[in-house]
Structure 1
């Protein structure tokens, strides 16, 4: 096969992984390990070196982001238990008003609240979003559904501390602070632009309530409109009335920890609830700014390290929770956090194994020779790989990790900043979210949409965000 052999072997391995997941119903983590083993063996590494490479790739990535993922998930669980989500949305509604709520809601979910595991975030916010949808004007349900889809998915892939963004930063050896500085504004701008486009389309007939909303949802929204008293009272009363029935709809959703993570929790004031997360993000961002500015000191390095920031936030959250929640609530939140982070760690680690094998078989040299002459080509390639993988597999995180892993070996040799490659992989993994995604069915069920409506608010909308994000990334690549 000559010089094309690494490319052919890698393509075959990826195709095998997809078939194992879709046809044989093999768990994605196991499929990625098998794909890495196959690639190493047919790529000429031999049995012993293949196993060493798989183990080393897993261990190296865990050393890079493993502790960060665990700390981020635990912090998110405590935020849920403290009732921060409901208080934050109430504040947004009071300050910005109902017309701007879909935008502020989506950006908040896609940035500040990304430490909360996606399914938990959906279940926690869906009753609130659905009840508010009837009160923000025409086509409120459609706009809130699109806001939720954008906030959850774009945040996972692009914004620290989203799980996908953490994994991509580890794969490409990008300092987490740099990933935060680039990804946070990219996610916010992408969400805002996409929500604007969706709102404009809805006003021009893109959304048909009779066909895109279930009959039950239409009846519920009509009744809610008749009984609304004021904008500020809505978010306080709607949650307690609808939380039980809405949360029980989906048995497959990851439930929030018992004993305090549900919407009915009163908890401490909003500023105190969010202080741990905000402190962690400020410490990480400060470390990134110090690195960019060239301010070197042991103290700044320690305080600006992402592990220090997240650990400080977690300790503060524990102190707040112990003073505000019932006995045992912190332990239950930690137990749920450990169960959630376990599956994320395994999937992230085996993505590192595949990336290490891809590098060892020599794909890097071939890709570098083909794409090092320009900036847009490698970014477009990694976006395309992630998009194709997502359409086949249905997992944002898995497709982003796999796509970035393929180009991780060549990133240092290209005239493109590695952070842009990571963000391009994240953007591509957002393309064509459809029926293979758990998020698709959760949003359909929890928000009372038909399948036709969910295709519009999730598949079309998030795919648009994927393309918009790629355009912004390509622009950044030219400017930088």
Structure 2
């Protein structure tokens, strides 16, 4: 098959999935499988090869994020039942106020807690965003979703130790200290400005609750509890009423400092493992406890024991059942999203795209920046992985850097900016984001795909401006 047909069929598959979900109202799982089968057959993988690749892609994604999703969602359900996230929201709102909270969240996620593992960061931050959303006001879930998108993913490509940032720096030979200095400035500014512009668009009717959010039954209690509708901020909606009706005393929830330990301990374990690895420390014990899956299990175990002590066995079991129901839905759609990415990978699209770009000696600085951004953006749109797009773009451009009249750190930032562009349906992160935030596919296209496209363009302007001071 010719290079043009490879690109054409990939575009048809991706656009087809979006159209089936939005226009024909297919379930995402069905649409993703249809898109995967179409692309596999048109790309020449054959019937057996297509099904095998779909199954392998599903399995690979489950091996990568399955435990993270399961442990993280269960932990979030337990913490919600104990009122930990609601109490944290109340504290942040008292300190910052509802209008400042989304900006503070995007700034913190992109700089102080930059993404080493974006899936872990999303799993831990999504319940907080959902709990805070009712207190933000109109379009609260949309605003908090945009803050998560800009914070997590901007940090991933600009701020050390984000995997995208470290990969780009390593391939281009940029010192991590230099990347940290310039990347932190660009990353923080991009995250906050993106959240600001997105918020202004929400005020102009960009979001439609009826079409962009998933209706949640009142029995869920999450929104009511977060909004203070329950008699006790630590109780799920109606729990205190049920206890009173049964003649029981509502259980006292642990203080916030104790309730947040299941989140803080995994973060410290993961950070310790990453720091030890960066420092060249080889320790089986550090590697064991620093593994993200084990770290999240430690957090889940702590949350479970804390819940049993404070809520009792019955209510802890109810919270676990709710988390297990949610986990199954998220795992299925995330895995099938990985299947589409695997089929795209089998088409050798990366090699096709690399041949479309070349540069000659003496290319002007602005053109070089745009070239680096475009290569990474096109790769990301096609492949569906920010880190893979960043690594592939850096590999394509590294051999021709000598002919580009642009500082290497700026080139690296331009690649990161392009790799951020428009994360969409061929990424498993997209489906995790949709399910964890409780929004529709249309909503995820706005709060994630549009926000990452906006952040990519804003950061491109900043990177271009950076050349004036370097």
TM-score category (smaller protein): 0.5 to 0.7
The total of aligned residue pairs comes to 384
**Equivalent of 1:290, from 261, 276, 282?**
276
Q: CA deviation at 1:299?
A: 1.3
Q: CA deviation at 1:29?
A: 1.8
Q: CA deviation at 1:314?
A: 0.8
Rounded Cα–Cα distance in structure 2 between residues aligned with 1:57 and 1:15: 20
Which range moved further: 101-110 or 38-47?
101-110
| Preserved contact between residue 372 and residue 413 of structure 1 (Cα < 8 Å) | no
Rounded Cα–Cα distance in structure 2 between residues aligned with 1:371 and 1:257: 56
Q: CA deviation at 1:297?
A: 1.6
In structure 1, the residue corresponding to 2:355 is in which secondary structure? helix
Task: Specify the alignment match of 1:135 in structure 2.
Answer: none
Task: Specify the alignment match of 1:163 in structure 2.
Answer: none
Q: CA deviation at 1:372?
A: 7.5
| Preserved contact between residue 131 and residue 226 of structure 2 (Cα < 8 Å) | no
TM-score normalised by length of structure 1: 0.61
Rounded Cα–Cα distance in structure 2 between residues aligned with 1:59 and 1:354: 12
Task: Specify the alignment match of 2:342 in structure 1.
Answer: 356
Structure 1 pair 475–372 and aligned structure 2 pair: CA distance change class (3 A): farther
Structure 1 pair 238–153 and aligned structure 2 pair: CA distance change class (3 A): closer
| Preserved contact between residue 92 and residue 104 of structure 1 (Cα < 8 Å) | no
Which range moved further: 12-21 or 418-427?
418-427
Rounded Cα–Cα distance in structure 2 between residues aligned with 1:31 and 1:346: 13
Task: Specify the alignment match of 1:80 in structure 2.
Answer: 80
Structure 1 pair 379–117 and aligned structure 2 pair: CA distance change class (3 A): same
| Preserved contact between residue 385 and residue 428 of structure 1 (Cα < 8 Å) | no
Structural mapping, 1:251-270, within 5 Å = 259=239, 267-270=253-256
| Preserved contact between residue 259 and residue 326 of structure 1 (Cα < 8 Å) | no
Structure 1 pair 288–3 and aligned structure 2 pair: CA distance change class (3 A): same
Q: CA deviation at 1:104?
A: 3.4
Task: Specify the alignment match of 1:274 in structure 2.
Answer: 260
Superposed CA offset, 1:291-316 (max 9, x none): 22221121121111111111111111
Task: Specify the alignment match of 1:429 in structure 2.
Answer: 423
| Preserved contact between residue 56 and residue 339 of structure 2 (Cα < 8 Å) | yes
In structure 2, the residue corresponding to 1:280 is in which secondary structure? helix
Structure 1 unpaired stretches of 5+: 131-140, 161-165, 170-177, 214-236, 245-255, 390-400, 444-455
Task: Specify the alignment match of 2:310 in structure 1.
Answer: 324
**Equivalent of 1:310, from 284, 296, 303?**
296
TM-score normalised by length of structure 2: 0.62
Q: CA deviation at 1:123?
A: 5.4
Task: Specify the alignment match of 1:115 in structure 2.
Answer: 123
Q: CA deviation at 1:56?
A: 1.1
CA RMSD of aligned residues (A): 5.4
Structural mapping, 1:97-108, within 5 Å = 100-101=100-101, 103-104=103-104
| Preserved contact between residue 186 and residue 459 of structure 2 (Cα < 8 Å) | yes
Rounded Cα–Cα distance in structure 1 between residues aligned with 2:196 and 2:125: 26
Q: CA deviation at 1:107?
A: 5.3
In structure 2, the residue corresponding to 1:337 is in which secondary structure? helix
| Preserved contact between residue 422 and residue 452 of structure 2 (Cα < 8 Å) | no
Task: Specify the alignment match of 2:325 in structure 1.
Answer: 339
Q: CA deviation at 1:149?
A: 4.4
Structural mapping, 1:99-178, within 5 Å = 100-101=100-101, 103-104=103-104, 114-115=122-123, 118=126, 124-130=131-137, 147-154=143-150
Q: CA deviation at 1:24?
A: 2.5
In structure 2, the residue corresponding to 1:370 is in which secondary structure? coil
Task: Specify the alignment match of 1:218 in structure 2.
Answer: none
Q: Give yes or no for the alignment of 1:53 onto 2:53.
A: yes
Q: CA deviation at 1:12?
A: 2.1
Q: CA deviation at 1:240?
A: 3.5
